[in-house]
Structure 1
Amino acid sequence: MMKETVLVTGSSRGIGRAVALKFASCGYRIVINCARSTDRLEEVKKEVEALGAECLAVQADVGNSNDCQRLFKEIESRFGHVDVLVNNAGISIIGLLQDLSFEDWNRILSANLSSVFHCTKLAIPGMIHNHSGKIINISSVWGVCGASCEAAYSATKGGVNGLTMALAKELAPSGIQVNAIACGAIDTEMNGFLSEEEHEMLLDEIPAGRMGKPEEVADLVLKLVEAPDYLTGQVIKMDGGWI
């Protein structure tokens, strides 16, 4: 069998890195990406290659349509089309909505939602041509129920969830599945702003009594890719029973 190609956006750290390494260990060809952390991206590339997988690392802001088109041209030149797209890139901004600047609103919208549109739009033609493909969007439980002081983040993730469900209906006739994972509290740098007291209070709220691990999210991403084709249009919460 020909090796399939997986693109993982925002893969210089955290969940994206864990997903890239998981797929590398399963024999996929890996495309990793980040907007700025090129040193970290090169470290992940070495980790992927150490697992015996081919790897293409591309610095590009997937929230920018021109950067995204350049990314896909490099993928086409090296590997051809994308078989599996994992839309993971994203940022978080904490604070009251009334204090959020117009610039930060556009920045989080670009990073969290427009990036999903850009990559998905460019991945779809190749998937339709092959009548197969998997798109996994990394979302958040705040896209399901909303979070105080994270209104903008919640709005973008709610948009990702809605896009997931709608696009699944569009693409199912073409043999393409679209699903999302609504993550709860995952132990990544994005949650590094929490004080020790806040961290303990958060754990008290989670029935599982702990944060999730990036590797656990990566395991679920792989399971969704390997799941029957009839599983599509789902937003699956992975939050330890929290929400």
Structure 2
Amino acid sequence: MFVRTLIAIACAAGIAGCTSYSGPTHNTDVVTLANGAQAYRVQCLGLLESAKSCMAEVKRICGDKPAMRVSSVDRINSNLKSDDDPREITFQCGAPVVEQPVQPAPAVVAPVVAPVAAPAPAPVRQAPARKVTLQGDANFAVGSATLMPAATARLDDFIAANQGVDIDHLTIAGYTDSTGSARLNNRLSAARARAVQGYLANGGLRASKWDVQGYGSASPVSPNTTAAGRAKNRRVEIQVDGK
């Protein structure tokens, strides 16, 4: 009676439900544990029964699978001490399921994107100069082909405006006023035109063809009857044709 009481206590504490079937040396129940899992309970409580009978039934039920003991009830002697002779074993078949710890998902680190520098604006290229005229007495010494600072400054601007430009045809025409002989005027106008050509070429101006001529007092742009008119006629015209 005492043993039966212990069995009832064990069933109430850990087992939610039971289904029974019996053999000649044991009683076997299919039980549902409190956590909802299915288990088996073998009882060997008769006088001719033993713990070996229970273990034999455990091995028969589990077969090749290992038996995992959930609980057991030992026989109690007259001194109320355990005989280490379990006559009731609750067990499950198969290795216990070990819950793996849930690993936290790795933190997603956004890549550091370096700011993209805005492209530097393309330099604004100056349009090539197509024509420049050296006119008046400030460009050459009197009666000479020597270039004065005013002329070289104008020519430097012309070179800079056409830097890197491949010019197909460059015309340089020199003119004088009507004072003096035609021979002198032709020679002086040609010398001034060549002086301009040399300065441009030394400054890096490129041209496939150079047309350099002196025309003397021909093609005046102003009357030669006044000093102002004659000063305008003393000139060198530089003209770009093509690129």
Per residue, is there more helix in 1 or in 2?
1
Q: Flag the structure with more relative contact order, 1 or 2, with Cα contacts below 8 A and sequence separation at least 6.
A: 1
* Structure of higher CA gyration radius: 2
Per residue, is there more strand in 1 or in 2?
2
Task: Please say whether Structure 1 and Structure 2 have the same fold, judged by a TM-score greater than 0.5.
Answer: no
Normalised TM-score (structure 2): 0.28
Normalised TM-score (structure 1): 0.28
